[in-house]
Structure formats: C-alpha cells, structure tokens
Amino acid sequence: MSILNDVSRVLKYRARNAAVAIMARTGDPLCRIMHRPAGEHTVYAELRARGPVHQPKQGPPLLLSHRLCSEVLRDTRIGMRLPGGRSASPNNTLSGTFIEYDPPDHTRLRRLAAPAFRPRLLRDYRTRIEKVTLDLLHSAVRKGEFDLVTDFASPLPIAVISDLLGIPDEHADRFARNGRLMAESPMGTSRLGHQRAINAAIADLGRLFADLMEQRRADPRDDVISLLTAAESEDRITADELVKTCGLLLIAGFETTVNLIGNATKLLTDDHPAQWALLKQDPDLAPRAVEEVLRYAPPVPFASRICQETVDLDGRSLPPKTMLMLLFAAANRDPEAYAEPDQFLLERAAGEPEHLSFSSGIHYCLGAPLARMEGEVALRAMIELMPNLRVIGEPTPRPTNVLRGYLHLPVAV
C-alpha cells in the first residue's frame, strides 16, 4: 500500500499545482500569488487598493491588513482546526503536531517543549552557533566560490537542532541527511523517487527518536528529548506526540533559518548593496537587519485560520467553518503600519509594529529567539570573514509556493 500512497501524494501535488496554474490564469488572486511568487507584491497592491479584506469569487477571504491579521491571530474564536476539533488538513506532514492544534492540546504540548527555549539555554546555544558558523564559513572562504545555501545556510540549523534535541555524535550524519529530507516534506514533490526518499527519511528519524527516548529513560540529559521523555513517563505526552514534536522542531527550525539566511544574503549583497555597506560599517545593526529581512521577505508568506464560531470581521459576519487566508507578506508591508513599507531599510523608525513572520498570539513561533540568534550570528560572521561577499549566477528559488527562499544561491568572496 505504501507505493500507492506515494503515487497518490505525487499525483495530488501535481494536480494541485496544475489547478493553481489554471486558476492563476483566470485571475484568482491567491493562485496568482502562489503560481508566480516574484510578482506577489503587485497583486497585494492591487487588492489593497480595494480594502483590507478581499473576497475572491471562489475561496476564502484574503486579509492584507496588519491590524486585521493581528486581531485574527489573537482571537480565541478563530483557530487551526474545524469546529469540534477535526483537522482541516489531516494528510499534512505537520498534522498531529502542536502547531496544528488548538487549546487545550496546543497549550499542553507547547508548554512541554517551551523549556528548551528558555533564556539560559539560548545563551548556551549561542557559543555552539558561533562555532558552527565560523567552521562552515572558514571552509567556504577557502573555496572562493560556493553555494551559500548548501554549504552554509542549510548545515547550520541542522547542527543547532541536533544539539537542541540531543542527537549523539555517532548519529549526526544520519540525522543531518534525513533531517534535510524531512524538512522538505511539507512542500510536497512531483517526483515519486523523491517522495519515497522523504518517507524513508521520516521513518528512519522516527526510529532514531524512539531509540533515543529509550536511552533517555535510563540516562536523562539536558536536551529536548530528555524533557519530552520525562513528560511521557508522567503521561503528559504520548510516544507518538513526542516523535511528532521532535519532527516539528526539526522542520520549523530548519525552514525558518535557512530561508532567513539565504534571503538576507540576496537582499543585502545583491538587491540593496547600500544596506550591506551600512551593516559592514555598523555590525551592531545585525539584529535589526534580521528583523527587516523577516518583514520584507517572510519565509512563510501566508497562513490559514478557521472560524470556530460566528465572528465579525471588518463589518462582515463570518459563520463557523469559514476559512481565512492571512497574507503575512502583504501585512508586513501595510502602509498603515509601516513608513515606506516597500523600502528595505535597516534603520527603520521606532514605534512600528513587529512583523508577522513569526505569527502572533498563542501560535507565535516558539523558536523565534533561536532563529533570530542564528540569523544575527550568521550576519556578523559573514561581515567579518567575507565583507566582499557577492551573488554570482542565477539563484534557484525553493520549488514550492508556500515558502519563500532559495534552494541554491551561488556566491563568491
């Protein structure tokens, strides 16, 4: 049956992409954004001229306003699941993880993972992040020309997540190889061989997590798997939830950081060299550079939510089961929230709201402090070791319409 399931997944992925392309040609705004991401801000501007909420002829309302997106993300009547608790996307790779749950299960599972991101541990992570960053960049500098994504932006978060979870050194290569494949799973694939490789990676990581759980029961340590294993022994989390939580931390931690670093490099060194010069002049702008990259080019440009009871939104009454599409990339450039919203500026005026690239409300990204730290450390190290970094050749965008980043970014020092 597994081969039939794989074929079904691939065919559904192809059919979905074909449908998106057809609907884009008919003018459907969300499909236009998904089909040709490079032109999405032209679409946002067209829709915004008509108001903060756009109702297509087909499909869910599209929210472009920073204020309305923030309100929806904080509204307890609007959640991730259908009324009654059923999943809206049961075949999604992230189904069954706390990112896809509403309270009380979301609260319970998130609370169990949260100690891994407490400030004391994050300070300890920084030393490890700096070491891995310098090792990777020193190796890249020796090449002169390299792929920033495959040689740096991708290995960095995998190494950090290995430490966070507590993956032993003897399993580091196995974890890294399978981790990169698992991180691709939410995107889907049009190739059967690729789908089977992803499935094999997910299964092998499940076995690895299960083995490590057994070891941590006998020999607990200061890592996420130990924390979750202790909770499982107290019946606060099931074994299946534990494995899925580890997988979620892997996927979420990888995708945010790899796309953040790739997007930052392209924006700063290629698209806006004056801002790169400003950052080289004042490396302490690195945290602000991270925030501006996330605002200007969010790795996750949109997300959905579902009304679980009747909700009034922008003068409209929305019944239960109404799906909403929150266009984070549009909200992050809302002229009512940001001065010069389409300008990429490291020195933005004080008082502007936080971008929505890490979401908001109860689903605010748990790993946001870690991703910010990785981005800041990466930028500081790149300034120090490769101040003349430049993009060479044509970057390859990620082959997905739900993430914004690069699969390959050829650079030279």
pLDDT, position 91: 61
70 pLDDT tier (thresholds 50, 70, 90): very high
What is the C-alpha to C-alpha distance for residues 218 and 45, in angstroms, rounded to an integer? 58
* Residue carrying the six token digits 């061989």: 193
CA proximity to 227, closest of 118, 129, 124 = 118
What is the C-alpha to C-alpha distance for residues 210 and 205, in angstroms, rounded to an integer? 8
Position 231 pLDDT exceeds 60:
yes
186 pLDDT tier (thresholds 50, 70, 90): low
- Chain-centroid distance, C-alpha 84: 27
| 21-25, 105-109, 299-303, 365-369: segment of lowest average pLDDT | 21-25
pLDDT, position 181: 80
* Contact present, 390 and 410 (Cβ < 8 Å): no
Token duo for residue 253? 């931690």
Average pLDDT over residues 358-365: 94
* Contact present, 242 and 113 (Cβ < 8 Å): no
CA proximity to 402, closest of 193, 199, 255, 196 = 255
Q: Pick the residue with more confidence: 74 or 35?
A: 74
CA proximity to 203, closest of 178, 176, 172 = 178
Position 209 pLDDT exceeds 80:
yes
Position 266 pLDDT exceeds 80:
yes
Q: Report the percent of the chain where pLDDT is more than 70.
A: 97
Q: Pick the residue with more confidence: 98 or 62?
A: 62
- In this prediction the pTM is 0.92
1 pLDDT tier (thresholds 50, 70, 90): very low
Report the sign of the C-alpha dihedral through residues 399, 400, 406, 407, in that order: negative
CA proximity to 326, closest of 125, 44, 129, 136 = 44
Token duo for residue 299? 């790795």
- Chain-centroid distance, C-alpha 72: 20
Position 364 pLDDT exceeds 90:
yes
Report the sign of the C-alpha dihedral through residues 239, 244, 249, 254, in that order: positive
Count of positions (residues) in the chain: 413
What backbone phi and psi angles, to 5 degrees, belong to 189? -150, 155
pLDDT, position 57: 85
Q: Pick the residue with more confidence: 169 or 378?
A: 378
DSSP conformation letters of 168-215: -GGGHHHHHHHHHHHHTGGG--S-HHHHHHHHHHHHHHHHHHHHHHHH
What is the C-alpha to C-alpha distance for residues 97 and 87, in angstroms, rounded to an integer? 11
237's CB contacts (< 8 A; 6+ apart) are 108, 109, 112, 228, 231, 245
Phi/psi region, residue 84 (left: phi>0; alpha: psi -120 to 50; beta: rest), is left
* Residue carrying the six token digits 């190889």: 177
Percent helix, strand and coil across the chain, each to the nearest 5: 60, 10, 30
* Contact present, 53 and 62 (Cβ < 8 Å): yes
Position 32 pLDDT exceeds 80:
yes
Position 85 pLDDT exceeds 80:
no
Average pLDDT over residues 125-141: 93
What backbone phi and psi angles, to 5 degrees, belong to 329? -65, -35
Average pLDDT over residues 182-201: 79
Domain ranges of the chain: 54-412
Q: What's the N-to-C CA distance of the chain in angstroms?
A: 50
Mean pLDDT over the full length of the chain:
89
Q: Is 82 helix (H, G, I), strand (E, B) or coil?
A: coil
* Contact present, 306 and 88 (Cβ < 8 Å): yes
Position 377 pLDDT exceeds 90:
yes
Q: Which CATH architecture fits 54-412?
A: Orthogonal Bundle (1.10)
CA-CA-CA-CA torsion for 177, 178, 179, 181, nearest 10 degrees?
100
* Contact present, 64 and 208 (Cβ < 8 Å): no
Token duo for residue 412? 């030279």
pLDDT, position 239: 83
401 pLDDT tier (thresholds 50, 70, 90): confident
Q: Report the percent of the chain where pLDDT is more than 90.
A: 53
Half-sphere exposure of 285 (CA within 13 A, CB side): 17
pLDDT, position 63: 97
